[in-house]
Amino acid sequence: MMPGRLGMPIAQEPLWISWHDSNWIPILNPTNVMDYFSEKSNPFYDRTCNNELVKMQRQSLEHLNNMIGVEFILLHVQDPILYVIRKQHRHSPTEATPLADYYIIAGTVYQAPDLASVFNSRLLSAVHHLQSAFEESSGYSRYHPNKGYTWDFSSNKALADKSKTQAKKEPAPVKEEASSLFQRKRVDMLLGELIRKFPLPLPPSQQNPAHHQQTGNVNGNIKKEPETDTKPDISGQETTQTNGAGEGENGAPSNLLTEIKQENKSEMKPPPEKKMKFN
């Protein structure tokens, strides 16, 4: 038969349980926290301890130092949220062996784990994760008589592709609304005002193009001297050019004629030489 059917309480791991009494939580303070811990419904309290004897005799807790046996003392107080109570076995007024520590946080009582339990829990957690990693990695190993052992992660890729497709099916985030017509026109107006107040500087070559062109023509006409040649046609053109240059200094129309004649002169080419044919 099971122990529960015989009326015997089933032992529970004290590190897995907690206890609280809602009636005491609003009035809990360092003066009555030991009375709160010694409630009959508290599974962490030992009824055979010296605190119960002192309580029955209506004496103060200071008499615990003169007794031998198991007792509970208030070890640390951080009012109003944290209280630490220690269970210890007293051998003499100056010697006691700690057995367990309990902490009360916001009215709920827990048993503090000992160092061995902490190490055991951490080691079990690390071993569990390592074992699961080895089991998962062994599922990707393949054996072939010619190739031996190899790794096949195609199933893992399939899972990754499936997760990607699920991510694509999720609704896309809502895009921000575009600017309104009023906002766009307002920006254009502000930019236009800034350009009118602060115009862009023009390069010096574009500020007075006519002045630079006239100066270049006059300087070119003055420096150029008439050439002397035996051919009457070319000399006639040069004479006309020099006369045009003199007029160009006094008026603008002569400059136009001079430019046209210079272009004609540059386009003239000497006749091609005749090649002798040998029979």
Q: Work out the pLDDT band at 201, boundaries 50, 70, 90.
A: confident
Per-residue model confidence (pLDDT) at position 61:
81
Max mean pLDDT among 27-41, 187-201, 227-241, 243-257 falls in 27-41
Give the residue, 25 or 172, on which the prediction is more confident: 25
So what's the pLDDT on residue 246?
A: 43
Which of 3-17, 20-34, 110-124, 240-254 is the least confident region? 240-254
Task: Quote the mean pLDDT of the chain.
Answer: 74
pLDDT band at 82 (very low <50, low <70, confident <90, very high): very high
Structural domains of the chain in order of their starting residue, each with its CATH number: 18-113 (3.10.450.580), 116-161 (no CATH)
Candidate from 29-38, 92-101, 244-253 with smallest mean pLDDT: 244-253
- pLDDT number for residue 14: 85
Three-class SS state of 79: coil
pLDDT in tens, 134-163: 888 888 888 888 888 888 777 666 666 666
- Angle at alpha carbon of residue 84, lines to 80 and 87, rounded to 5°: 150
CA atoms of 69 and 49, how far apart (whole Å)? 7
pLDDT per position as a tens digit, 169-184: 666 556 666 666 666 6
Among residues 83, 84, 88, 44, the alpha carbon closest in space to that of 65 is found at 88
pLDDT of the residue at 132: 92
Contacts of 277 (CB under 8 A, 6+ apart): none
Average pLDDT over residues 216-238: 46
How far apart CA 243 and CA 260 sit, in angstroms, is 14
Report the SS3 class of residue 202. coil
User: What's the rounded mean pLDDT across residues 13-28?
Assistant: 90
> If DSSP codes are grouped into helix, strand and coil, which group holds residue 6?
helix
Chain segment 84-133, per-residue pLDDT in tens: 999 999 999 889 999 999 999 989 999 999 888 899 999 999 999 999 99
240 band by pLDDT with thresholds 50, 70 and 90? very low
Percent of the chain with pLDDT over 90: 29
Dist. CA 232–CA 21, nearest whole Å: 133
Confidence of residue 233 (pLDDT cuts 50, 70, 90): very low
Q: For residue 58, give Cα distances in angstroms to 51, 63, 73, 246.
A: 10, 11, 17, 138
